[in-house]
Amino acid sequence: MDLIKLKYFYITAELENMSLAAKELLISQPALSKAITNLEAELKMDLFFRNGRNISLNENGSFLFKEADRVFSVIRDLERGLEERRGEGNGNLSIVTTLPYTFTNIIDLFFNEYPHVKYQQVPLSKENLQQFIENGKYDVCITTEKIEHSNVEWVPLFEEEIFLTVPKSFKVANAGSIDLMKLEDISFIGLTDQYSFRQFTDQFCESVGYKPKYQVEVEEATTILQMVKNGRGAAFTPETSVNLYENKIKHLKIENGKFTRTIGLLKHRYTYPTKISEAFISHCHRYFQGIRMGKERLPKDV
């Protein structure tokens, strides 16, 4: 069994679709199908359940896929090491995250030090997180959910407060803080309830006996503050997304308890740590340290 056949199997198993796998591998579907059949003949075992165009791994295939995952993880580490040796300050950096504001600010500043690095933001889906944890497919994961697993190390970076953001035209905007239970009938704008931040804010509100009335639910976080600026409603905003110099909105402290979350990063314990990834992790520490220092210098009534 050679690596080419193993890669054909691996991509096909990952996508569970022969047509999509052939397209990704840049070969014809008949050629891929023949290669998989030849591999099964060589191993003297079937690897897939086949039902028309649908395929799925059987027990033999699941075993081979898991072992192949380890093989290609080692190869990715080798490629990272060789790529790094070809040029200092170059290479790739893949970051799994769902923090659009934070990610944009961190990367923008990191560009100043490493302008030639190729960046990839990977959505923090269950599948991508699993691939990061199990085989270190990506370099770093920035998340607000602490993951405990023997393969990864959780490093807390910053505990951020959650604010209630309202248009300055709203009567409550004149206050420095707000009791959610005393809010009048205010419409909310937020992410759909499939997103972890929405689930987090819903859980907090439920714990204090408050239920926000969402008039607008969106899939893109950057849309929310724009709609608040336009006077369409209120929103919950994490501290790292707060712009104190925005003149159309006001961020109010919430009086109903400790409403915070922790931003942290996950480092893989067993994959090759490139100099770029290590530099990025150090940059993250400096970035959030800067936020903490700036916060300490702010007047208490801001």
Nearest to 207 by CA among 217, 199, 219: 199
Containing domain of residue 120, as a range? 84-157+263-297
pLDDT digits (tens, 9 = 90+) for 8-46: 999 999 888 888 888 989 999 899 999 999 999 999 999
132-142: average pLDDT: 88
pLDDT band for 265, please (50, 70, 90 cuts).
Answer: very high
In a domain, 124, yes or no: yes
pLDDT band for 87, please (50, 70, 90 cuts).
Answer: low
Question: Are residue 254 and residue 162 in the same domain, yes or no?
Answer: yes
What local confidence, expressed as pLDDT, does residue 86 receive? 58
Question: Are residue 122 and residue 89 in the same domain, yes or no?
Answer: yes
pLDDT digits (tens, 9 = 90+) for 142-199: 999 888 899 999 999 999 999 999 999 998 998 889 999 988 789 999 999 988 899 9
52-60: average pLDDT: 85
Question: Are residue 247 and residue 110 in the same domain, yes or no?
Answer: no
Question: Are residue 17 and residue 148 in the same domain, yes or no?
Answer: no
Which tokens is 291 given? 């936020």
CB-CB contact of 288 with 265 (8 Å): no
The CATH number given to whatever domain includes residue 231 is 3.40.190.290
- Residue 302 CA to residue 290 CA, distance in Å, equals 18
CA 248 to chain centre: 29
Which pairs with CB-CB distance under 8 Å and at least 24 residues apart come from 65-74? 65/9, 65/10, 65/13, 65/14, 68/6, 68/9, 68/10, 68/13, 69/10, 69/134, 69/135, 70/135, 71/3, 71/6, 72/7, 72/10, 72/135, 73/135, 73/136, 73/137, 73/271
What local confidence, expressed as pLDDT, does residue 261 receive? 95
CB-CB contact of 136 with 270 (8 Å): yes
Question: Are residue 99 and residue 164 in the same domain, yes or no?
Answer: no
Question: Are residue 133 and residue 189 in the same domain, yes or no?
Answer: no
Select from 44, 73, 102 the last residue of a domain.
73
pLDDT digits (tens, 9 = 90+) for 230-258: 999 999 999 988 876 688 999 999 999 99
CB-CB contact of 155 with 267 (8 Å): yes
pLDDT band for 114, please (50, 70, 90 cuts).
Answer: confident
Residue 105 has pLDDT above 50, yes or no: yes
Question: Are residue 162 and residue 148 in the same domain, yes or no?
Answer: no
Question: Are residue 172 and residue 248 in the same domain, yes or no?
Answer: yes
pLDDT band for 301, please (50, 70, 90 cuts).
Answer: very low
pLDDT band for 47, please (50, 70, 90 cuts).
Answer: very high
The pTM of this model reads 0.69
Total domains in the fold of the chain: 3
Q: What is the average pLDDT score of the chain?
A: 87
SS3 of 47-98: the string is CEEEECCEEEECHHHHHHHHHHHHHHHHHHHHHHHHHHHHCCCCCEEEEEEC
In a domain, 302, yes or no: no
- Residue 17 CA to residue 23 CA, distance in Å, equals 10
CA 232 to chain centre: 28
Q: What is the percent of the chain with per-residue pLDDT over 90, rounded to a whole number? A: 50
Question: Are residue 136 and residue 283 in the same domain, yes or no?
Answer: yes
What local confidence, expressed as pLDDT, does residue 78 receive? 77
In a domain, 78, yes or no: no
